[in-house]
Amino acid sequence: MKTKTMRLLGAGALLTMALSGCASGSISGGADDTAAAASSGNSELRDVTIGLFPSSAVGAMQLGINKGYFEAEGINLELLLGQGSAAQLPSLSSGSLDFMLASPTTPLIATAQGLDLKIVSGYAHNRTEMVEDSVAVMVGPDSGIKSARDLEGKTVSINALGSIGEIGIKEAVELDGGDSSAVTFVQLGFNEVGAQLESGQIDAGMAGPPFLQQIVADGGSVISDFIQEAELGGAELVIASSGALTRDDPELIASFVAALEQTLTYAEEHQDEVRALLPEVLGTSPEAAEKTDFIAWDAELDVDALEQFAILMEKHGVVENLPDVESTVWSK
């Protein structure tokens, strides 16, 4: 039996959590014998890291590892968990991380500030027919907050300052007739929102599956589907890498993207298999996992949707000038 290591990126430290499985990268088996044998010591496999934040994306990526898609492309993939993409940005820039899951705001801000980053792939887009498939603004039981405009004067958590949460919630507040400048934002991981709502440390919080479902099960509710309201759903999550890696090793980028395409296609078509992984990879209850709806996983990148991010980033003061989307997107 092989052990998969999933590291948790903390402030200045790496905490290690070992997840046991029956094949390389697996917590419940699934990779074929060839892939498993390769992982045991085949020098042709390249160690590659990707930074994630606690969300259902971890389950989807773990499923791709279990299925052997990355090993088939010569990649031994390690998942590194952090609070959000902004916190992992220095690791990506320095080369400690090879890839990173992020909302488009992170690489667009980084390139606007002169950092050398590229968006190499799409990852997910919003399902317009659902609310609980993606991130939303949550409140606890008996909250007086009923819509986005009620967030005026309130403390709202988002997983990263300057992120899709900040620009999306500000836009939703204004579209609902409120004053977005009167909202106080604090940074908090999705997995911490429920407890902070219960304790009263925050008035509302941005959370996504499966934590959103857990908050609802505890009596909370969604008061703003800000992704749809702000028209940011077309490219909600992307994969970024350093500009140096895209130039120095385009073959690795292409191999990773090929494995990712297979992973997301399979995850989209076999969502129950992702749900089955959530209790182990995220520690959510089996009951919440069973009720979890997922964002639409898709590696295709909607460049036009990225332009809406750039527009709102400038509008809401996240950047001084309109980000150059075209120069931020990697081309093969």
CB atoms within 10 A of CB 332: 8
Q: What is the dihedral of CA 202, 207, 213, 219, to 10 degrees?
A: 20
In the block, residue with structure tokens 């990697």? 330
What class does CATH assign to 136-231?
alpha beta
The answer to whether the 2-126+234-328 and 136-231 domains have the same CATH topology is: yes
pLDDT tens string, the chain, 332 residues long: the values are 333 434 444 433 332 232 323 333 432 233 343 344 344 445 689 999 999 988 999 999 999 999 999 999 999 999 999 877 878 999 999 999 999 999 999 999 999 999 999 999 999 998 888 777 889 999 999 999 999 999 999 999 998 888 899 999 999 999 999 999 999 999 999 999 999 999 999 999 999 999 999 999 999 999 999 999 999 999 999 999 999 999 999 999 999 999 999 999 999 999 999 999 999 999 989 998 998 989 999 999 999 999 999 999 999 999 999 999 999 999 97
Rg (CA), the chain: 19
In the block, residue with structure tokens 């749900």? 275
Q: What is the pTM of this model?
A: 0.81
In CATH, 2-126+234-328 is 3.40.1160.10: no
- Per-domain boundaries in the chain: 2-126+234-328, 136-231
